[in-house]
Chain A
Amino acid sequence: MAGMKPYPAAEKHMTPMGFPPARVENWQEKGVEKMGEMLKKYRSLQVFMDICVKCGSCTDKCHYYIGTGDPNNMPVQRAELMRKVYRRYFTPAGKILPGVVKAEEFDEKVLQEWVTYFHQCSQCRRCSVFCPYGIDTAEVTMAAREIMDSIGVGHKYSTEIIGKVHTLGNNLGIPAPALKSTLQFLEDDILDNTGHEVRLPLDEPGAEVMLVPPSADFFSEPHIQSLIGYAKVFHQAGISFTISSFASEAANFGMFIGSYDHKRKIAKRIADKARELKVKRIVVGECGHAWRVAYSFWNTLNGPFDFLDPRYPAPQHICEFTHDLLQRGALTLDKEANDPYVVTFHDSCNVARASRMGPNPGGQFEIPRELIKASCNRFVEMDEETIREKTFCCGGGGGLLTDELMDLRIKGVLPRVTALKQVMKKDGVNFLALICAICKAQFTKVLPMYKIPMETVGGVHQLVSNAIVLGAKKGIV
């Protein structure tokens, strides 16, 4: 089927990443060898290969299964694509009785299944919520992609993007001068619209905070509206900040391809720049998987972050940052500014199921909601089976936000669309608030296919931006 299979990475993408330029000759052997290595390095993989009882609890939980009806998109069946190879080469049962336990050789057919179905998983972890053993198919997908990269079978989209981050510092490949002029343009824009000199500084040493947004925030709609929102919050709170041109990207596609080394290298440039610019805090913008990497992995990858101010969590999410200021009375929000909107909130997978905000479990659900409620008068929830820890992926996460997978993306968004349409009809919802750059890009592209206008999609800090009263300076109390 068209629009369901990834484009292969070419030599020019693979070589700079340290991957073989094309499929290696003895790929079967190498692939199995790599799997053996990974089983020893990742307890998750080893345990998840062994203990699935095929209870079926996860089978109907994946948005791609719901959208496509393809049995290979049932999470357990996706993992089985790797498990059957695991059994063949690493378990006595699979060696002796392959037919009984469904064990298979790592052959061309299996490899093609891997290419297809491990690129039909957005690593959203919804399946892991419902599994009695917490089996997280995202871990299996990451491992499969790493094995494929190691034998020279890569995905063009992710490898190309990682290449840009390593050389230019962001996924979009924006060079520093272009970034500089964009930010200046935005400053002028805010001045024209509000009469206030809100700054968006670039590479300014000695600032209090380094802001690391997803790079889509610089160029895409509606992402830019949230960037303006962050800037207004800093301005109003009187806290100096800077963006770094070489760390102008929170996203970390190293996670998508399962590569520890790339993940670490991509994250490292942010820690390095924070040291260099002598900032005291790092705040991460509205980006789901970036927040997972920052929150859960940075400390392990490049820590300790003991050069930062210990009074604040390192790193801090922009929602935590704004929420904290709000609680301390530093901001004034005029809810009426958002009166044209009836708002609902889409929990982004990586924030919901792979990270936290604030000191308490579940803060990642409450803090953004509190910000929204402080910024507008009308907020409603979608069906509770589709929010918080049970939230559905937008359909474009995990390195699948690419045009050649458009059919998959349109199908994968179905469960979210169903829940959204319900509240649109019942409560007149016309604003879908988000804190993820990938979700924003995916929704603006695919919701129109379901006759939902793309203007429905926006950031939480877009609402904050509309509501914030500039000049009503109270400072931090």
Chain B
Amino acid sequence: MLMLIAYIALVTFVVGFGWRLWTYWLAPAPLKIPTTPAPVSKSGVAWRLFTEVAFFNSLFKGNKWTWVGGYAFHAALLLVALRHLRYFVPVPEVFSHMQIFGILAGLIMVGALGFLLVRRWYVPRTRHISSLADYGMLLLLLAIGGSGLLMTFCVRPDIVSIKEAMTGWITFQGFKTPEDALFVLHFLLVLLLLAIFPFSKLMHLGGIFFSPTRNQVDNPREERHVNPWAGN
């Protein structure tokens, strides 16, 4: 049963994510609309996007507290994800010495999510713009992080059987459901996240690269930009 759910979620994620990106790809950008001052070369644009993704430049300009919370969460999430790699694929020896960073990151991640949740509720402006889905997303991530931390610090599950199951799952060889209840909960929540990903605001992950105000080169006079649907 879990296996079936796991595959449905995985496929939903992959197909859904691809479908959204495909939709963005298909929609043309009829005009040049970079938010200026903007880079005048392609490499400049690559750098602009890199700084947005790696440092959240614009958010930093906009709101320091949200930047702190958002950046801490995303950076920690990245480390946590890297730490989880070992459950899916063989990883080099050095990684096992760096587990401590991954564990620390788990704590930071949950802390940052808590901060973002409180902020969303507490600041009247963000409360006004929030829907149940926005809170739900934070709660889901918190539950995932929380159950993960519980397994790290309190109830250690049987890593070997989990690793087997995970490897089997992503290589499409089927898997034997691990017994551990906490793990199953953790895993189910992640599956839920994967399944709703393409239908939610989480699409910002792929969407940012398609944002014309950030990904266009500011060279309309030098190079003629053609609108595919204008017929000239």
A residues in contact (CB < 8 Å) with B: 39-48, 50-61, 71, 74, 76-77, 80, 91-93, 97, 99-102, 125, 128-136, 139, 260, 264, 295-297, 299-301, 303-304, 313-315, 352-356, 359-362, 364-365, 389-390
| B129 and A362 form a contact (CB under 8 A) | no
B residues in contact (CB < 8 Å) with A: 20, 23-24, 26-33, 35-40, 44, 52, 56, 58-59, 61-63, 66, 70, 120, 123, 125-126, 128-134, 136, 196, 199-201, 203-204, 207-208, 210-214, 218, 220-221, 224-227, 229-230
Asked whether A41 and B27 contact (CB < 8 A) given A61-B62, A80-B129, the answer is yes
A318 to chain B, nearest CB (A): 15
Residues in A neighbouring B26, C-beta threshold 8 A: 40
| A93 and B133 form a contact (CB under 8 A) | yes
| A131 and B28 form a contact (CB under 8 A) | no
> Which of A43, A132, A359 lies in contact with B27, CB distance below 8 A?
A43
Report how far A339 CA is from B36 CA in the complex, Å.
33
| B203 and A51 form a contact (CB under 8 A) | yes
Residue of B nearest to A56 (CB): B126
| B35 and A353 form a contact (CB under 8 A) | yes
Pick from B58, B120, B210, B224 the residue with the most CB of A within 10 Å.
B58
Asked whether A50 and B208 contact (CB < 8 A) given A57-B59, A136-B33, the answer is no
| B52 and A132 form a contact (CB under 8 A) | yes
Report how far A346 CA is from B79 CA in the complex, Å.
45
A25 to chain B, nearest CB (A): 28
> Which of A54, A313, A365 lies in contact with B126, CB distance below 8 A?
A54
B57 to chain A, nearest CB (A): 8
Asked whether A314 and B221 contact (CB < 8 A) given A93-B199, A354-B35, A389-B37, the answer is yes
Residue of A nearest to B57 (CB): A132
| A300 and B61 form a contact (CB under 8 A) | no
Residues in A neighbouring B213, C-beta threshold 8 A: 44, 128, 134-136
B67 to chain A, nearest CB (A): 8
Report how far A303 CA is from B225 CA in the complex, Å.
9
Residues in B neighbouring A51, C-beta threshold 8 A: 201, 203-204, 207-208, 211
| A60 and B125 form a contact (CB under 8 A) | yes
A271 to chain B, nearest CB (A): 12
Residues in B neighbouring A99, C-beta threshold 8 A: 132
Residues in B neighbouring A54, C-beta threshold 8 A: 126, 129-131, 134, 201
Report how far A149 CA is from B225 CA in the complex, Å.
27
Between A and B, 12 residue pairs with Cβ closer than 8 Å are: A43-B28, A53-B204, A55-B70, A92-B199, A100-B132, A100-B133, A130-B63, A134-B52, A299-B225, A361-B44, A361-B218, A362-B37
